[in-house]
Amino acid sequence: MKTALITGVTGQDGSYLAELLLQKGYAVHGLLRRASTENTSRIDHLSGRVTLHYGDVTDSLSVLNVVESVRPDELYNLAAQSHVYTSFAVPEYTAQADALGILRVLEAVRLPGLDCRIYQASTSELFGDAAQSPQNESTPFSPRSPYAIAKQYAYWTVRCYREAYGIFAVNGILFNHESERRSELFVTRKITKAAADFAFGRDEPLRLGNLDALRDWGYAPDYVECMWRMLQQNTPEDFVAATGEQHSVREFCRLAFARAGVDLRWQGEGLDAVGMDGKSGKILVTVDPAFYRPLEVSSLLGDAEKARRLLGWVPKVGFEELVNRMTDHDLSHKTRSKDAELFYKDS
Ligand code: NAP
Ligand code: G4F
């Protein structure tokens, strides 16, 4: 039986990866950070099957201790402050977790001389203001946030330790992937929750930022399969994972609202854009500059040809199915959205 350790096991990807590895017969361990509120809701259904260890990727001693006691065959470093907008508010913490976290992990494997394969959660945000489209493994980086800059440090650290010490460590350069377990701080879930809220009588409009942002959105369970495949190769290499399809925030909204029974019609541009109910004319979506970032990444589109060729990986869930799954989930769970991002307006 192989043993895997997942940092970030309580997150969207960590929870799906834990399920996948359990299915494959792994002994699964997870690094859990202490929180004053309950933070295990995504993995509570795996209780007793995943062994949890308290630790934090900003704390070297805890990382060393957990890695030494678990002695994993595979380590997936998913822990991160993963919200791009928030990284402008907490840049130093973001660097501690997202840049130095993997350094601590690599040293925890290198110092005791463990034979352990390491996956690093790299990101399409590295491409930022990319000069070419679509982006693949050889596209130059142009990061545009403290988050992306921290992840760039992590990316090069992985390559350095691979080449300097022969450690099997890889970067998975993953484009956006979403699911029913996505936090409401990200635009997709914010939209699907709001679309369902309108079906339950929400009155106030949904407030969004840049409606014209373009992303390559896939389904998270497909992407954790790709992570696992990257660690089963004979030689360590970095891979892009993406769907190869690009859609706008506007388009995401239109499909989610349609799934919830609303014919959303757009009018106007920029700050004046509004989304109206095609039947009643009521304004359901407005633009609020509070959700504009200090620097925006306006367009990302991935080319995952290498992953298809060498890993045999092809994402199964397409854009429309993704939107439908997320919206259906929110329609079937009648809980009003908390408008989680409201604090940006107030702070
Ligand atoms: P997520 O839902 O925000 O999960 C992040 C996880 O990291 C959570 O378990 C969180 O714990 C944990 N964490 C945060 N800071 C930590 C710390 N200091 N020490 C230990 N654990 C810590 O993110 P995700 O969407 O699953 O993404 C997983 C990884 O992939 C992240 O590194 C993200 O940057 C990267 N990524 C994501 C995407 C995407 O589209 N989802 C694309 C490319 C790359 P709590 O539950 O306690 O908060
Ligand atoms: O959903 P988002 O916050 O995701 P973003 O910034 O693309 O980052 C996600 O994907 C990255 C991979 O490319 C990961 F590395 C990262 O960890 C995270 O998972 O925003 C998507 C787009 C942006 O252009 C944003 O400006 O949607 C735009 N947007 C428009 N209105 C909004 C909103 N984003 C949020 N969060 N909230 C809005 O109201």
Report the pLDDT value the prediction gives residue 321, as an integer from 0 to 100.
98
Atom of ligand 2 nearest to the CA of 297: 24
Q: Rounded mean pLDDT of 119-128?
A: 98
pLDDT single digits (tens) 314-333: 999 999 999 999 999 999 98
Residue ID of nearest Cα to ligand 2 atom 7:
176
Mind listing the pLDDT tens digit for each residue in 281-294? Answer: 999 999 999 999 99
Q: Which atom of ligand 1 is nearest to the CA of 58?
A: 18
| 94 in contact with ligand 1, CB cutoff 6 A | no
pLDDT of residue 113: 98
The pTM of the full predicted model, rounded to 2 decimals, is 0.97
Cα-to-centroid distance, 345 and ligand 1 (Å) = 24
Q: Is the CB of 81 under 6 A from ligand 2?
A: no
The closest-lying atom of ligand 1 relative to the alpha carbon of residue 220 is 41
- Out of 41, 82, 227, mutate this one to test ligand 1's pocket (max ligand atoms within 8 Å of CB): namely 82
**Residues 177, 243: contact at Cβ < 8 Å?**
no
58 catalytic residue (yes or no): no
7 in contact with ligand 1, CB cutoff 6 A = yes
Residue of the nearest CA to atom 27 in ligand 1?
Answer: 13
Q: pLDDT tier at 337 (50, 70, 90 boundaries)?
A: low
Q: Using DSSP, how many helices (H) and how many strands (E) does the chain show?
A: 12, 15
Query: Is 123 known to be catalytic?
Result: yes
What is the pLDDT at residue 338?
56
Other beta carbons within 10 Å of 93:
15
d(Cα 55, Cα 136) in Å, to the nearest integer?
34
Number of C-beta neighbours around residue 261 at 10 A: 11
Distance from residue 41's CA to the centre of ligand 1 (Å)? 14
* Sequence-ordered alpha helix ranges (H) in 120-270: 146-165, 187-199, 220-230, 249-259
- Give tens-digit pLDDT for 84-105: 999 999 999 999 999 999 999 9
Under a CB-based contact definition with an 8 Å cutoff, are residues 243 and 216 in contact? yes
| Atom of ligand 1 minimally distant from the CA of 57 | 19
| For the CA of 120, the nearest ligand | 1
